[in-house]
């Protein structure tokens, strides 16, 4: 089986709703449902989160990051961390646990390295999205961070199936595809992107995410970045281009990807986007590190 055939099979399963998840994903989705009930109190939320040690550590770490502490001192318990972050950010952090668990814990060193790289990329995009939303597009920064966390959920699912289908890790054979599809090179690229989008869309549906977040991820798959950014989709596209760690599933070269930050700049109020990035470097760095916990 080659990569195109494997993707075709996974798309067929996704369209039928036959997604394969680990038991830990189901547990975390139940945590998400418990937090989402209308009458969930701060104390109830804290008790729920304390049952998930990794999530509890992440919640406290993010609350103490520069993006959320704002000089108010450290919090040392989950209840105080949730009070500082709010429930919207808490939902985003639960989603981060789900996304990370979707890929599972592969025994293959190559797959494990790609999963770790994809999570590093996702954390950077989430942190950058939060800053861009707060300082540039004036959108809800928690929603932007949420979108950044889940934007590669389809990629995590593909990596979770890579032991079963090793061909998913192979580079795209565009030359072969070009010959097979009767010189229809552009259609081959679009078809591949559409396949991965179908898989990602199916996983997002299972996570029951807000429509606003789903729409932003769709914009990342198929949209064109507006400069300066205005929408949540624009915010996500810009953050994705600026992340120093690129997705291991990204077809761009390192040189193409890392060229973005030096090329992207525009006026924001009385300053420039480059200045905002420099001023927010500590926020981005500490929030990224906290999300990776």
Torsions phi, psi for 31 (to 5 deg): -60, -45
Residue 48 has pLDDT above 60, yes or no: yes
Residue 261 has pLDDT above 80, yes or no: no
Lowest mean pLDDT among 155-164, 170-179, 217-226, 273-282: 170-179
Q: What is the pLDDT of residue 278?
A: 93
Q: What is the pLDDT of residue 66?
A: 92
Q: What is the pLDDT of residue 177?
A: 45
Q: What is the pLDDT of residue 258?
A: 56
Question: What average pLDDT does the segment 95-102 reach?
Answer: 91
Top-confidence residue, 12 or 176? 12
Residue 284 has pLDDT above 50, yes or no: yes
Positive/negative CA dihedral, 206, 27, 120, 146: positive
Residue 134 has pLDDT above 80, yes or no: yes
pLDDT in tens, 15-24: 998 888 888 8
Residue 255 has pLDDT above 80, yes or no: no
As a whole number, the mean pLDDT across the chain is 86
- CATH code of 3-292, in short, is 1.10.3210.10
CA distance 196 to 60: 34
- pLDDT category at 235 given cuts 50, 70, 90 is very high
pTM: 0.87
* Percent residues over pLDDT 90 in the chain: 57
């Amino acid at each position: 089986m080659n990569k195109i055939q494997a993707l075709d099979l996974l798309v067929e399963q996704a369209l039928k709703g036959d997604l394969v998840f680990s038991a830990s994903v189901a547990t975390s989705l139940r945590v998400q449902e418990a937090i989402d009930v209308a009458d969930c109190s701060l104390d109830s939320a804290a008790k729920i989160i304390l049952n998930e040690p990794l999530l509890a550590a992440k919640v406290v770490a993010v609350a103490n990051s520069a993006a959320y502490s704002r000089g108010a001192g450290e919090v040392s318990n989950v209840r105080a961390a949730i009070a500082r972050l709010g429930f919207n950010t808490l939902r985003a952090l639960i989603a981060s646990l789900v996304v990370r668990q979707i890929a599972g814990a592969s025994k293959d060193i190559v797959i494990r390295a790609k999963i770790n790289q994809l999570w590093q990329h996702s954390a950077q995009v989430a942190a950058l999205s939060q800053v861009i939303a707060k300082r540039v597009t004036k959108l809800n920064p928690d929603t932007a961070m949420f979108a950044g966390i889940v934007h590669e959920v389809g990629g995590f699912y593909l990596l979770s199936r890579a032991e079963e289908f090793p061909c998913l890790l192979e580079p795209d054979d565009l030359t072969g595809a070009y010959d097979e599809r009767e010189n229809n090179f552009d259609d081959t690229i679009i078809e591949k992107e559409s396949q991965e989008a179908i898989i990602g869309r199916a996983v997002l549906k299972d996570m029951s995410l807000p429509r606003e977040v789903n729409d932003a991820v769709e914009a990342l798959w198929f949209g064109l970045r507006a400069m300066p950014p205005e929408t949540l989709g624009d915010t996500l596209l810009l953050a994705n281009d600026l992340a120093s760690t690129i997705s291991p599933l990204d077809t761009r070269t390192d040189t193409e990807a890392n060229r973005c930050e030096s090329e992207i700049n525009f006026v924001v109020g009385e300053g420039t986007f480059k200045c905002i990035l420099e001023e927010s470097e500590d926020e981005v760095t500490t929030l990224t590190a906290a999300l990776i916990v």
